[in-house]
Amino acid sequence: MSPPPSPDDDALPPDEEVVIRQAEQADLLDVFRLERSTFPQPWPFSAFESFLGERGFLVAQSGTSPAIVGYVVSDTTPNYGRDIGHVKDLAVHPDARGRGLGRTLLRRALGTLASDGSALVKLEVRTTNDAAIALYRSEGFEPLRRIPRYYADGEDAFVMVLDLAEWDDSPLDGNDSGGRTRESRGA
């Protein structure tokens, strides 16, 4: 069985208009359909409903269509003065992959988490999802530990973490989305 599709990390073409905005009630069905087509163990519809109104629930909408082509869900948890952000879910429609939308959504989520006071960000990713792991590492995430049988199908997960004090949110290659760690850019 092949690993599930993952976020990509190529640049968005300049002629592709994609709007990233906070999720609304009307987006939920598209988000849920994308979730079901992307992940072997999708979240239930009610999980997305529970994040409505949260700053970290962002959707990407193509300028040429009302359809949702990607989304990210993240939130912040208080932790003794050093709040922890959590990227809970990120998906990009198969037709929109290969254009940097996964990276753009991730960067927007990281920016939101930073502005909400998160000092660290964590996420879980399937150990077989090489493309997603490469994207997360390129943004400064490092594997913290492996959790055996984390997913319902028995697959392991990596917990990856990023110290936002080390994350560079400045533009890369003319893209205003920020990215990578200061250390990895030689700053």
Point out the catalytic residue in the list 17, 71, 80, 136: 136
Specify whether 71 is catalytic.
Answer: no
Burial of 106 (0-12, 13-18, 19+ CB in 10 A): buried
Rounded to 5°, angle at Cα 139 from 98 and 60: 45
Specify whether 24 is catalytic.
Answer: no
Number of residues that this document lists for the chain: 187
Point out the catalytic residue in the list 124, 142, 150, 166: 124
Both tokens of residue 13? 């073409």
Residues of the chain with pLDDT under 70: 1-16, 170-187
Output the pLDDT for position 30.
Answer: 96
The secondary structure of 21-43 as a DSSP string is EE--GGGHHHHHHHHHHH-SSPP
Q: Note the pLDDT tens digit of each residue in 25-75.
A: 999 999 999 999 999 889 999 999 999 999 999 999 987 778 899 999 999
Predicted TM-score (pTM) above 0.85: no
State which fold the 18-185 domain adopts. Answer: Aminopeptidase (3.40.630)
How is the chain split into domains, by residue range? 18-185
